[in-house]
Amino acid sequence: MSTTPHRAGSVVEDELRELAGDLATAIAKARTLNLPTSTYLLRMALAEVSQTLNAGANEHGDPAR
């Protein structure tokens, strides 16, 4: 199963970057509220989004950001 987005590159990339930002904000909030399990799960989701972004960049020959 591929982790690469199925729609046009820039639209999906923009959505993934927005999701990454939202996850980072949620991670900060979970830390503030002392919710370690939520922080961990959100970090795993952020890692998956980052890997997907990097995989898409690698497929198109773009440097990972």
Please answer whether residues 46 and 22 qualify as being in contact, where contact means their C-beta atoms are separated by less than 8 angstroms. Answer: no
Q: Is 60 helix (H, G, I), strand (E, B) or coil?
A: coil
| CA atoms of 15 and 21, how far apart (whole Å) | 10
The reported pLDDT for the residue numbered 33 is 98
Please answer whether residues 16 and 49 qualify as being in contact, where contact means their C-beta atoms are separated by less than 8 angstroms. Answer: yes
pLDDT, tens digit (0-9, with 9 covering 90-100), for 6-47 = 556 689 999 999 999 999 999 999 999 999 999 999 999 999
pLDDT, tens digit (0-9, with 9 covering 90-100), for 52-64 = 999 987 776 655 5
**Where do the structural domains in the chain lie, given as residue ranges?**
9-57
Flag whether pLDDT at 4 surpasses 60. no
